[in-house]
Amino acid sequence: MERKYLFLEKSGYQNIYGNKFKALQKKLILMITEEEANEKVKEGWFRSWLVFEALAINENVAKDALETLINKLDKDERVKIYKKVFGEVKKVEKPIKNVDIGYSLTCEVNLISKKFDYLAQIVMEYGPAAIEILEPEKFNLDVGEAQGILNSISQMMHRLAAAGAGGIVFMKGED
């Protein structure tokens, strides 16, 4: 798919990538146009807004990590991005225990997806800080798609448990 560009007219837009990407400071890369997204939404697709955040002890590591994640999402066939906006890198004092200084960066993404199941998978795989489904306001979910979502969650829990990163906690209830 050929990439399309939207040039920003805001004079205050700051280049967060440094000199290496200076030529990109005034444009957003779009997979599809907003008009194309609007047509798909009329056909029943989901319109969503997601925000991703990277936090690292090195500014370049935060930028590279978030850019890599968003580029991977950009290529994911389950969604079509029509807008992405990277924020400014912010220096954060004591972001987590035993870390004095960190660097935080966000990226807001607007996308469409044909199925709710795809959105659930995207959230589990890419871990956005937040997601908002903008359209439709109401929708029907058939049993097969609901089961697919629940099975995806179950598989993720088993992968976490197998990796030693968590799992299911069993608690004894009161008799």
CB atoms under 10 Å from CB of 80, counted, come to 19
- Which of 32, 36, 37 has its CA nearest to residue 6? 32
pLDDT tens, 71-126?
999 999 999 999 999 999 999 999 989 999 999 999 999 999 999 999 999 999 99
pTM value is: 0.74
Residue type, 100: D
SS3 126: helix
Q: Which fold has domain 34-139?
A: Alpha-Beta Plaits (3.30.70)
pLDDT tens, 42-73?
999 999 999 999 999 999 999 999 999 999 99
Would you kindly state where each structural domain of the chain is located, as residue ranges? 34-139, 140-175
